[in-house]
Amino acid sequence: MRRLTIINFLIVLGCALAVGLSWQINHEAIEAVALKLFRAEGRSAFTLIQTARHWNAIQGKVYVPVSADTPPNPYLRTPDRDITDNLGRRLTQVNPAYMTRQISELLQDSDVQMRITSLDPINPLNRPDGWEAASLRQFEISGELERVERVQDRYRYISGLIVQRECMQCHEDQGYRVGDLRGGISFSVPAEQVDLLVSEMQQGSSRVHALVLMLLSLIGVSLFSLFYLVRGRLQASVMAQAELQQLVERDELTGVLSRRALMERLFTEMKRRSRYGQPLSLLMLDLDHFKRVNDRYGHQAGDLVLKELAQMLEQHLREVDIIGRYGGEEFTVLLPNTARLQAERLAQRLCQAAAEYRIRLHGGDLVQVTLSIGLASCDTDLLSAETLLARADEALYVAKQRGRNRVSVYGQD
């Protein structure tokens, strides 16, 4: 009897250890989802701030009235920092760094915190804290320009700032060159804001694991059976995480990247292009007269055409190329380390392949579709992601205006 009690105790203990391990793996996987969600939020916030900074920089000089909240910037040493307008008002120049700091001060009383920082700041108030300093040093060593982490009770995100040509008027005296890492912008929010998004997953996981422990303990299965059960649960957990990743990154209909995931990849490729000077090209593809397919055969047939065409395009792309559904019948293809001439040849092949392709509908009808393609490249220019997209879209418009079923290159047509 005593031996049976010991064996039962060991079985229950083994169940508890195995289920506890499964719960821990699920808990860590769900925490990884929380980090991924905040990474996406941090990238979006950084993109907005960078766009505002870029706008400020390309204006040449931006002036605002001097006030208690906006005094002259003592760290901006230009002879025309302060001027007087024709109404007699005193104006002071607001450069991108000063503007960013002003925005961060407006956020001081909110849950969202933002900082512009540097290991060699002009303004001592921009000196990094310990986590920011460690992140910037890691960027210098690894070449990565992004970090996200939960630090105590806050989620923190930082992305590196690369010296652009327009930055040199303020930072040339510090010894920077175009392409150098000169600092970063960090964001943080209370942990509970992000944790709320995944709390139901955590609670559901805890309830399921508690129930499994009770059932296994009551049934008293052998350790050998328990091993296979836990292994099955671990595999199910991995599949669930893979499905969640698929939902976040893939377009449900065509299987290519979703627009959100596509923009994240574009953001990453633009940073790599800015950092290392490699060429980058972008294609905007649009199905010609796609509305006629929907009107004649129905939307189910139109969905089949989009799916088949996306698969055909993937077969004609290189492994390094990135394709995503931009919206409706529009697709976008990123071509890393690809100059304009090489990208144009690839675009022509895609255009020809689409024209030669035939899609068989469920009713047996064969449908032919053609593509209009707009191409934009940044071989040597330092462009923003928004500018590259706008140029490709403008070239796509030209291709449509000139009869469709053709490739138009920005700046040439």
Active-site positions?
A: 329
Are 112 and 189 in contact by the 8 Å Cβ rule? The answer is yes
Report the alpha-carbon distance of residue 412 to residue 390 in Å, rounded: 15
Q: Which pair of structure tokens corresponds to residue 246?
A: 């698929």
Q: Which residues of 84-102 are buried (b: 16+ CB within 10 A; e: fewer)?
A: eeeeeeebbbbbbbbbbbe
Long-range interactions of 383-387: CB distance < 8 A, separation 24+: 383/270, 384/50, 384/51, 384/54, 384/270, 385/47, 385/263, 385/266, 385/267, 385/270, 386/51
Query: Residue 6, class by beta-carbon neighbours within 10 Å (0-12 exposed, 13-18 middle, 19+ buried)?
Result: exposed
Place of tokens 């050998």: 224
User: In whole angstroms, what is the distance from residue 83 CA to residue 92 CA?
Assistant: 6
Q: How far is CA 65 from CA 69, 106, 192, in A?
A: 10, 17, 39
CB–CB of 277/395 below 8 Å? no
Look at the block and give the residue holding tokens 């719960």.
Answer: 23
What distance lies between CA 84 and its chain's CA centroid?
Answer: 43
Cα separation, 206 vs 208, in Å, equals 5
Q: What is the 3-state secondary structure (H, E, C) of 298-310?
A: CHHHHHHHHHHHH
| Sequence-distant (≥ 6) Cβ neighbours of residue 392 within 8 angstroms | 282, 283, 284, 332, 374, 375, 376, 410
Q: Which residues contact 364 (CB under 8 A, 6 or more apart)?
A: none
